[in-house]
Structure 1
Amino acid sequence: MVSDAALQLFSALLWNTVLICAPVLGLTLLVGVGVSIFQAVTQIQDMSLSFLPKLVAAFIGLVAFGPWMLRRLVSYATQVISSLPGQF
């Protein structure tokens, strides 16, 4: 029974990790594709042009989605800590 509980906790951990990372990674991916298309059209191959917009997008994503990400993480941690004495 202990291994079932551990597998459920690990599964929930992986799912929450995907959900927490998805907004920032998705926003950075969209900006990266947009910059790549812009570079292909204009034939500008500057490395800072591909790095800086993605960095700014990641920062904006963290500012915009940070409170939701933190609530999700705290909720999961609270759920895990409160369920530990009953499972093990």
Structure 2
Amino acid sequence: MTETEVYEFTSDMLWVVIIGSAPVLLIALVVGLVIALFQALTQVQEMTLTFVPKIMVIFLTLVASTPFIYSTLAALSERGFDAIASGGM
């Protein structure tokens, strides 16, 4: 395996991590902003108000995006296993 192929595979691994985690992180960011705005408008500074809804929404997003995350990881794994089988790694 050449240096270019190693670089491309490493780059693809990083993109899979970014793309796989993006749905959960973006939803957590949006929910956090909405809760922070609500707290700023109402002057309610309760810690459970920020923690519980965010955890629930993150869990639901993770359950909903599991097929997408699996397909991206499976494609990368298959590419890696094919490279190993062909003697590329």
| TM-score in same-fold range (> 0.5) | yes
Amino acid at match of 2:5: A
1:59-83 deviation per Cα after TM superposition (whole angstroms, max 9, x unaligned): 0101111111111111111111112
Secondary structure at the aligned position of 1:87 is classed as coil
What is the 5 A alignment of 1:41-52? 41-52=41-52
**What is the match of residue 82 of structure 1?**
82
CA distance in structure 1 between the partners assigned to 2:29 and 2:80 by the alignment: 31
Structure 1, unpaired ranges of 5+: none
Amino acid at match of 2:73: L
**What is the match of residue 61 of structure 1?**
61
CA distance in structure 2 between the partners assigned to 1:70 and 1:83 by the alignment: 20
CA distance in structure 2 between the partners assigned to 1:5 and 1:81 by the alignment: 14
CA distance in structure 2 between the partners assigned to 1:29 and 1:45 by the alignment: 18
Report how many aligned residue pairs link the two structures.
88
Runs of 4+ in structure 1 deviating by more than 3 angstroms, as ranges, are none
**What is the match of residue 29 of structure 1?**
29
Secondary structure at the aligned position of 2:6 is classed as helix
Question: What is the TM-score of this pair, normalised by structure 1?
Answer: 0.91
Q: What's the RMSD between the two structures over aligned residues? A: 1.3
**What is the match of residue 71 of structure 1?**
71
**What is the match of residue 5 of structure 1?**
5
Which one is further off, 67-76 or 7-16?
67-76
Percent same amino acid at aligned positions?
A: 33
1:86 is displaced (CA, Å) by 4.4
Question: What is the TM-score of this pair, normalised by structure 2?
Answer: 0.90
